Chains A and B, each alone.
Chain A
């Protein structure tokens, strides 16, 4: 009524109009200030790690970053097919290298632009539920009490590759083969064990340190000499329109305090 009223009610009419115009102006200004969020494709083992780091990154820089968590191989396929990511944090260096070789990603701004930027190293652990009455250790892998051992798919999950390498170094792989159940990615591996369907699983330390899993189970760190290091590499997706901001996030991840934070979450800092 007020908005569409005629000339007689000039005063009450003009106030809301002016109010609306200023509101529009504010909205326009706000939309100018708001940029599209930085889209990050992140390996599944980073799911418990990244959200608090991204929150602090936004506080420090005002840049809003959003992560999509998937197995590194899935993300690679998506980027190959034009997924609109700005930054790719893989759980290995092979997949980002594949993208660099295809001309779809780069490590520009670093000494060697054709090598993915190392941002962390992963740690493999043997995890079992506390109520299973099995104590995770190398002896458990040889024990007849172990009926089913969950691993991530060794053909594409970097932690699965490390798991098979560790079992092979222990000369247990052939013997354990009939007991292996293979999960799609590292989070599902943990799910197989946490649901009680597998007796133990070779999972990432980042999963084992989550509040849920550290409450329900115990882990044993697989000695590092048993498997090649799980080196996690990052690349900038070449089609990004936010290259500078993607670099800023990468630098933030490599900064000393954030690397310390990664260490607390189960990743080994790179320096």
Chain B
């Protein structure tokens, strides 16, 4: 069993989920509270990673982050190393790949909060930040949990982007899904079954922990 790959995958999913929530919560609040038609364009843009096949997205990132684009050269100069074939590169890829899975539930959840009370709070002088932290987030807690869970799981099972951008380096970019794929391709089905079981079990445990943390005392409807 490749524990190194499991640790790496959990780390990637955790880092990605943390970054996604930090970015997606303010963005979703802005999309819901903001005015202006062009917000629809931003929302559409945020959903676009769903359209591209993951391997194609990975290929675009490989080219974009590589030394043949000004952007890639800038990043390389900034970090001192190219992003492709590194853990940070996988984080960038995962954040883009799972972006819609964080934004969509949050937008739906924030939009479902009774508009009357949000307007009342604003009329009484509450800032956008206060509306977000004291009303939207507590009232849309289930959506926040859903966004975290979906981002986490989507990254745990992420394959296409990692395959294209990772270069299969043990300890840096060899995630559990790559190990699993390698075992299947090498006809090592027994090992593949074990890896799949670990992937499923660790995801189930992580999920249970998240749901437990988000469950109000006395049940969901309390």
Query: Which of A's residues lie within 8 Å of B, judged by CB?
Result: 71, 73-74, 77, 148, 150, 153, 155-156, 180-184, 188, 191-192, 195-198
Q: Out of A153, A155, A182, A197, which one reaches B66, CB within 8 Å?
A: A197
Chain B, interface residues (CB within 8 Å), range: 20 to 34
Residues of A within 8 A of B72 (CB): 196
Q: Out of B62, B67, B168, which one reaches A182, CB within 8 Å?
A: B168
Does B182 make an interface contact (CB < 8 A)? yes
B167 touches A192 (CB 8 A): yes
Q: How far is the CA of A181 from the CA of B163 in the complex (A)?
A: 11
B67 touches A184 (CB 8 A): no
Does B210 make an interface contact (CB < 8 A)? no
Q: Most chain-B Cβ atoms within 10 A of its Cβ — which of A71, A150, A155?
A: A155
Q: How far is the CA of A196 from the CA of B167 in the complex (A)?
A: 13
Residues of B within 8 A of A184 (CB): 163
Residues of A within 8 A of B63 (CB): 195
In the complex, 21 of the A-B residue pairs with CB atoms within 8 angstroms, ordered by the A residue number, are: A73-B185, A77-B184, A150-B167, A153-B168, A155-B185, A155-B186, A156-B186, A180-B169, A181-B85, A181-B169, A182-B168, A184-B163, A191-B59, A192-B62, A195-B62, A196-B66, A196-B68, A196-B72, A197-B62, A197-B85, A198-B85
- Beyond A155-B182, A192-B62, A196-B66, 13 additional contacts (C-beta under 8 Å) are A71-B185, A73-B185, A74-B185, A148-B85, A148-B167, A155-B185, A181-B167, A182-B169, A195-B66, A195-B84, A196-B72, A197-B62, A197-B85
B187 touches A182 (CB 8 A): no
Does B49 make an interface contact (CB < 8 A)? no
Does B82 make an interface contact (CB < 8 A)? yes
Q: If the complex has contacts A73-B185, A73-B186, A74-B185, are A195 and B68 also in contact, measured as CB distance less than 8 A?
A: yes
